[in-house]
Chain A
Amino acid sequence: AQKITQTQPGMFVQEKEAVTLDCTYDTSDPSYGLFWYKQPSSGEMIFLIYQGSYDQQNATEGRYSLNFQKARKSANLVISASQLGDSAMYFCAMSPRGIQGAQKLVFGQGTRLTINP
């Protein structure tokens, strides 16, 4: 079974500062993918970034980067130069790779990020 743990229920950060959102995971799958999603108050789940378990480099996507430490089973999201529009819930999720058919995404509890002006 897969499990995602996000230990920060809420975070408050000043605008323009960098922020790190923590995510640890547990899985017995040999190959897997890790995802981060953003959910504004409107409700839509917006895909941000993906990291494959065998990828040699940490994923980056604009202001988002994923600090992947496989031995520690952590996949922290780093947002550089935070903006007011970054205020939202952030979810870490994972799914197995190399399995036939559609795969389940397992989500963490989420972290509510608030950016202060």
Chain B
Amino acid sequence: ETGVTQTPRHLVMGMTNKKSLKCEQHLGHNAMYWYKQSAKKPLELMFVYNFKEQTENNSVPSRFSPECPNSSHLFLHLHTLQPEDSALYLCASSLVTGGADTQYFGPGTRLTVL
């Protein structure tokens, strides 16, 4: 595997389900990100992890729970979601250099909440 991978690619879940999204980066990066992309909206940053430590939580509801066990893996645990949470969830990673670091994205998980 190369680059940034995400599983699953598609997910349909009910409002009472619990599911997890997984992201893995094979680029040797030390920062990882979760973004949400809803229809007709710009990408919204959800969470940032730098060296496994969460450095940003962009006022995300608690029904989204991130986990970063190491600098290569990032999870997004989902529970009791709402239909408005249906969106494309994108994971990204970057190498923190002190400059404007390029973020590389995975293919995304398209989530539908029924």
Chain A contacts to B: CB under 8 angstroms:
4, 31-33, 35, 37, 42-47, 50, 52, 91, 94-105, 107-110
Contact = CB atoms under 8 A, between A and B. Distances in A.
9 contacts: A33-B99, A43-B90, A43-B107, A43-B110, A50-B100, A102-B49, A105-B92, A107-B43, A109-B42
B61 interface: no
Interface size class of B (residues with CB under 8 A): 20 to 34
A110 B40 CA distance: 9
Contacts of B48: 102, 104
Q: Chain A's interface: helix, strand, loop or mixed, by majority?
A: loop
Contacts of B102: 35, 47, 50
A4 B43 CA distance: 12
Contact of B100 (A42, A96, A107): A96
